[in-house]
Amino acid sequence: MTDANAKRREEWNEGNADRRAWNTGDQMMQEDPIKTARILIVDDQEVNVHFLEGTLRWVAGNTNFKSTTNPREVEALIAEFEPDLILLDLHMPERDGFMVMEDLKQVIPADAFLPILVLTADVTPEAKQRALAGGAKDFLSKPFDTTEVLLRSNNLLQTRLLHLELANQNQILEVKVQERTRDLQKANDDLQAAHRDLEDAHIEMLERMALAAEYRDDDTGEHTKRVGQVSAFLGRALRLAQDQVMLLRRAAPLHDVGKIAIPDQILLKPGRLTAEEFEVLKTHTTIGGKILSGGRFALLKLAEEIALTHHERWDGTGYPHGLREATIPLAGRIVAVADSFDALTHERPYKEAWAVEEAVAELQRCAGTQFDPTIVDAFLGLRADSLAAAVLGFPAAARRGA
């Protein structure tokens, strides 16, 4: 299709949009839309043109028509006049009706119902079949009969106007569907935002609870943050997906939230715990799991898993369930290493801080018994300056214990 034809198609669509607006917006002001419909007459015989103009003007009461005896003017007249019906002579010199209909296929969209009423004295089945295949909708036989002209024209015009009305209704419906879709999308976005706000509020409450528990045996309250950062470093070293690393970073700080329920005389005891006291301390894992249970969000589910399993051991001698090796969730195994390293390198009521080298050596010694060897190896591959400066808060050079 040429650029010129494409432009004509575009102009045709724009024109029909205006016609649809007229059909619905101004129709209430019109007594009979048939009388104002636009009709294009194409016939090389002026006598036929005059007869059809007279019939439309004086009998049908329609003066909204244009005529031409030159079939080469049809495309330009359609672009200018935007007719609702074309009365087209079939047999004309140089360029007959068949050729005109073929040309119109290039400029009128296939879904645009622009009826063509063929004018012909050739009533043979072959001529009718060819005309119908070319795009004609009906026939007027010559010589013309006034009643037949009006009836066939009106039938096609009614169909045309119904098509325009339907197209307009479809357009209105499409706009409404788009508006409704936007409303639904906004409502969905608002709902998701509300869920995120609820999740953030819930998590903030739990983080504050975990911080309150942590302040009881770490007056800086930084332990939980450091465990979250180191856990994220380990997750990245183990090539977890970025979204999983971010979840791990936020969930790991809640690992000891259950300590909120452990009595001070046990949690802050400077000496060695008795067997009975240790059993009470161990309950912080199940208490933390219960506090975090029932969450609908991935973050809370992961935090619950970590709280329950970060004291399980690789050899199966940990608590609370005695899980071993790969039956321990990966997040629990990661936090076990991060939590132990941070606890070793920082002072607690019951212990002095260890030197970094001593803590690293302890992790290596416990690989395969307390800790997953793969995660210990990942820890050893972390940059010392990253751990020191970004997480542990001491200079990159190894800090010595007191």
Q: How confident is the model at residue 127 (pLDDT cuts 50, 70, 90)?
A: confident
| Averaged confidence pLDDT in the chain | 85
Q: What is the DSSP letter of 211?
A: H
Q: Which range is least confidently modeled, 108-117, 174-183, 186-195?
A: 108-117
195-392, CATH topology level:
Hypothetical protein af1432 (1.10.3210)
68 strand-pairing partners: 42
Q: Which range is least confidently modeled, 79-88, 196-205, 353-362?
A: 196-205
pLDDT at 265 over 70: yes
Highest mean pLDDT among 24-38, 87-101, 258-272, 320-334 belongs to 320-334
Position 377 scores a pLDDT of 95
- Give the burial class of 165: count Cβ atoms within 10 A of its Cβ; 0-12 exposed, 13-18 middle, 19 or more buried: middle
Top pLDDT among 280 and 110 is at 280
Backbone angles phi, psi at 252, to 5 degrees: -60, -40
Rounded CA-CA distance 370/372 in Å is 7
pLDDT at 162 over 60: yes
Position 34 scores a pLDDT of 87
Note whether 55 and 153 are within 8 A (CB): no
Top pLDDT among 397 and 17 is at 17
Position 28 scores a pLDDT of 42
Q: How confident is the model at residue 212 (pLDDT cuts 50, 70, 90)?
A: confident
Position 50 scores a pLDDT of 95
Position 16 scores a pLDDT of 53
pLDDT at 29 over 50: no
pLDDT at 97 over 80: yes
Q: What is the pLDDT of residues 371-390, one digit of tens each?
A: 999 999 999 988 766 666 44
Rounded CA-CA distance 4/315 in Å is 80
pLDDT at 281 over 90: yes
Average pLDDT over residues 81-100: 92
Task: Measure the N-to-C terminal CA separation of the chain; round to a whole number of Å.
Answer: 87
Rounded CA-CA distance 291/60 in Å is 85
Q: What percent of the chain has pLDDT over 70?
A: 86
Highest mean pLDDT among 15-19, 24-28, 222-226 belongs to 222-226
Q: Is the peptide bond before 373 cis (omega within 30 degrees of 0)?
A: no
Q: How confident is the model at residue 277 (pLDDT cuts 50, 70, 90)?
A: very high
Q: What percent of the chain has pLDDT over 90?
A: 50
Pick from 312, 315, 314, 325: which is nearest to 286 by CA? 312
Using DSSP bridges, classify how beta strands 138-141 and 65-68 pair: parallel, antiparallel or unpaired.
unpaired
Position 241 scores a pLDDT of 96
Position 395 scores a pLDDT of 41
SS3 149: helix
Boundaries of every domain in the chain: 3-172, 195-392
Position 348 scores a pLDDT of 75
SS3 86: strand
3-172, CATH topology level:
Rossmann fold (3.40.50)
Position 345 scores a pLDDT of 87
Q: Which range is least confidently modeled, 49-53, 65-69, 205-209, 225-229?
A: 205-209
Q: How confident is the model at residue 224 (pLDDT cuts 50, 70, 90)?
A: confident
Q: Is the peptide bond before 320 cis (omega within 30 degrees of 0)?
A: yes
Provide the strand spans (E) within 129-209. 138-141
Rounded CA-CA distance 50/55 in Å is 9
Tokens representing residue 200 in the block: 């953030």
Structural element, H or E, at residue 120: strand 116-120
Position 394 scores a pLDDT of 45
Q: How confident is the model at residue 5 (pLDDT cuts 50, 70, 90)?
A: low
**Which distant-in-sequence residues (6+ apart) come within 8 Å of 39 by Cβ?**
56, 62, 64, 65, 66, 83, 84, 85, 86, 87, 153, 157
Q: How confident is the model at residue 290 (pLDDT cuts 50, 70, 90)?
A: very high
Position 336 scores a pLDDT of 97
Position 1 scores a pLDDT of 47
